[in-house]
């Protein structure tokens, strides 16, 4: 069974835009947070950043969440 790979929130938004999602003047991060709040999207996973020189927590989404996000946007 293949595990669902994780992508950063920045990559998530980039891929959503490539798939035709229009965010307009709105902040994409706020839209994702709102969808999480109303239970349309799963919560992000948080992991320690492994980038050189960077310390902190990185927000990650399973790739399958992108498909769900696009579907929600289409149904809007």
pLDDT in tens, the chain (76 residues): 445 689 999 999 999 999 999 988 889 999 999 999 999 999 888 887 766 556 677 889 998 899 999 999 999 8
Angle at 39 between CA 36 and CA 42, to 5 degrees: 60
Q: What's CA 26's distance to the chain center, in Å? A: 15
């Amino acid at each position: 069974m293949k595990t669902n790979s994780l992508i950063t929130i920045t990559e998530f938004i980039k891929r959503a835009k490539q798939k035709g999602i229009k965010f307009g003047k709105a902040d994409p991060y706020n839209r994702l947070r709102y969808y999480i709040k109303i239970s349309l999207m799963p919560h992000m996973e948080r992991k320690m950043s492994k980038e050189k020189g960077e310390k902190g927590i990185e927000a990650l989404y399973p790739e399958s969440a992108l498909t769900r996000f696009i579907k929600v946007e289409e149904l809007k």
